[in-house]
Amino acid sequence: AALKRRVRFQVSAALKEGHVTPTELCQRCLSLIKSTKFLNAYITVAEETALKQAEESEKRYRRGHPLGVLDGIPIAVKDNFNTAGIETTCASNMLKGYISPYNATAVQKLLDQGAVLLGKTNLDEFAMGSGSTDGVFGPVRNPWSYSRQYKEKFVPKSHSQDEKSNWVITGGSSGGSAAAVSSFTCFAALGSDTGGSTRNPAAHCGVVGLKPTYGLISRHGLIPLVNSMDVPGILTRCVDDAAVVLGSLAGHDPKDSTTIQDDFKPFELPNVADVSKLSIGIPKVTFKSCQQLWTGTAADLFKNAGAKVIEVSLPHTCYSIVCYHVLCTAEVASNMARFDGLEYGHRSDMNKSTESMYAATRREGFNDVVRGRILSGNYFLLKQNYENYFIKAQKVRRLIANDFVKVFRSGVDILLTPTTLCDAVPYMEFIKEDNRTRSAQDDILTQAANMAGLPAINVPTALSERGLPIGLQFIGRSFQEKQLLTVAKWFEKQVKFPMIQLEEVKRHDHDAFQHQKSASFS
Amino acid sequence: QKVTVEVLDHLEHLALVDFRDAEGVERLQKAIQFADQLRDVNTDGVEPMDSVLEDRCLYLRDDDVTEGNCTNELLKNAREKVEEYFVAPPGNIPLPKLEERETILQSS
């Protein structure tokens, strides 16, 4: 079967044994990116530098000294991470043409391991959104829209509707990264997660999306949205891969004072796990989710394996969206203040005064969503509102975080919830509601983990009635990624999520592999 | 209660971002309404939380210069510069008053 469809782990073995070279792998991925351009997953493709990196990797393999498991592995990075020498736009006019002078720590760490950076992926402007539809480079299309599984189930609502115009969204805001991994153009991608931005598109695109504990991975170089909640996110096709990438990224960074100083020990996940000693908590929910059925099925899987499954109460989680709304806009108001046209980014021609230049630059550079959040944030931070909105939200945040502490203290090891309310909606339907409404709906199951700083992961579980991916979310204790991923891997093995059947990839593989000996990797 | 024009004007000054149109103002109204739901939560005796890492010590590093000398790199991304300076328009001119500014708020 196709080499690309293999998980990274297996590709590493292939690279080591010389069955494929880093440059071949890189070229194939670049070529696949070209043939899946309609997905609009990439904003910038760094073809030249990627090939150079691949060549360097190849030299190392020939000498028998690869840097590690990630050496030669093609990856993609969300376009809100700084990448030296490569344009970083955050999908905004404000940063069009901005060439980063440095690498974000997370990016640097991956490059230091020999990973090959293929390009920067598309997102909602400044990571504000849950659809990857509000960036200046246009929306990202979910690869599953073009899958045999979706096409088979597609029932047009009117005779003017056809599959081509009914493509579904990736979810967001790391939609480009999720689509890139899902369509096999790379083996792993970096996303960011502030309210669910890695897990949400992971669920919709049928890939693994890990949100690490706040403080585990450096945010240095990740253009900030909400400093107290942002984390770099990891998107891969299987849980093992996520563990490997986590191993390369986690750890103290002197350049990010919000990273903890504890030693981080990279870990390998056991192939066989004993879940019978676990206690799985399922939070009571008051809203309807199409995924409710799957949570029940998952609960049964755990029960049958001997685990204890209980219903738990997180009474303040229902306020996490409102709380997030205030804290996020407040931090955004502060973080976006740096964009004034003076040192980098877009600068207006207006030059009557500093203030009018700043105002015009920001008028021209930001979209409605960003402007709206800045203005709301400033409102909540006004002297007359500070106590009733900002401080109040910070108090509610503590209540939400405490709910989790109580549940984990009562003996629950892992929480299980659906990741999203429903499967991916068609783009035409998604844009009928505004960004804030959508974000409020879509983040409802994921946001609380950011509020409390907890690690959480989306595991692709099954296909919906429409043939689209459904994911379930596991939330763990702070800094207990090993336990979280062990459970996630066990679950992944039980559900055996189907592989996406994409014509583009099939055609591609056929051409590329016509003369290739088929090697069996298991 | 509706947000007054004075407050809207004040926000445009603070944020240096304009509401652009009636929809922008409406967006703010909805955002405030949405946030008002926080009132329903009883937070008596609860301390505000700044960071989930509040139980850990913020640490200092040694006051040693470990990097720098990247003036050229940093200037590369600026549009207006002269030698080693970023160039800004005159700074002691306040943003025009509501009546003189191009803003949707005038019609309110």
Q: Supply the range of the domain harboring residue A242.
A: 10-153+163-331+383-508
* Spatial separation of the C-alpha atoms in residues A329 and A108, rounded to whole Å: 30
The reported pLDDT for the residue numbered B101 is 74
* Spatial separation of the C-alpha atoms in residues A401 and A450, rounded to whole Å: 9
For residue A88, give both structure tokens: 């970083």
> Up-side HSE of residue A25: CA atoms within 13 Å toward CB?
35
The reported pLDDT for the residue numbered A516 is 30
The CB density around residue A349, as the number of other CB atoms within 10 Å, is 9
Nearest to A98 among B28, B77, B96 (CB): B77
**By the CB < 8 Å criterion, does A389 face chain B?**
yes
Residues of B numbered 24-53 whose beta carbons fall under 8 angstroms of chain A's beta carbons: which are they? Answer: 24, 27-28, 30-32, 34-35, 37-41, 43, 46-53
The reported pLDDT for the residue numbered A418 is 94
* A520 has catalytic annotation: no
The reported pLDDT for the residue numbered B28 is 95
Strand, helix or coil for residue A223:
coil
Residue A46 lies in a domain: yes
- Whole-number Cα distances in Å, A314 to A105, A320, A472: 35, 11, 18
Q: Give how many domains chain A has, as a whole number.
A: 1
The reported pLDDT for the residue numbered B58 is 86
Residue A344 lies in a domain: no
* A493 has catalytic annotation: no
Catalytic, out of A145, A147, A173, A376: A173
Strand, helix or coil for residue A483:
helix
DSSP alpha helices (H): ranges in A305-434? 320-335, 354-365, 368-381, 383-385, 392-409, 427-430
Catalytic, out of A12, A57, A78, A289: A78
| Contacts B53 to A, Cβ<8 Å | 214-215, 258, 260, 453
Query: Which residue of chain B comes nearest to A352, CA vs CA?
Result: B89
- Determine the distance from the C-alpha atom of residue A170 to the mean position of all C-alpha atoms in its chain, rounded to a whole number: 11
**By the CB < 8 Å criterion, does A379 face chain B?**
yes
Q: Which residue do the tokens 């306040």 mark?
A: B94
The reported pLDDT for the residue numbered A217 is 98
The reported pLDDT for the residue numbered A74 is 97
**By the CB < 8 Å criterion, does B22 face chain A?**
no
The reported pLDDT for the residue numbered A8 is 58
The reported pLDDT for the residue numbered A231 is 98
The reported pLDDT for the residue numbered B103 is 75
* Spatial separation of the C-alpha atoms in residues A396 and A324, rounded to whole Å: 10
Domain boundaries, chain B: 1-41
What is the mean pLDDT of the segment spanning B10-33? 92
Do A471 and A458 touch, CB atoms closer than 8 A?
Answer: yes
ipTM of the modeled complex: 0.94
The series of mean pLDDT values per 10 residues for chain A, 522 residues long, is 54 89 96 96 98 98 94 97 98 96 98 98 96 96 96 76 79 97 96 97 98 98 97 97 97 95 94 94 79 87 97 94 96 97 95 93 95 96 97 98 97 96 93 85 91 98 96 97 98 95 72 32 22
* A197 has catalytic annotation: yes
For residue A35, give both structure tokens: 């043939």
B51-73 pLDDT tens trace: 999 999 988 888 999 888 999 99
A472: domain CATH number is 3.90.1300.10
Put simply, the answer to whether A379 touches B3 (Cβ < 8 Å) is yes
Nearest to A117 by CA among A159, A91, A82: A82
For residue A273, give both structure tokens: 């796990």
The reported pLDDT for the residue numbered A522 is 19
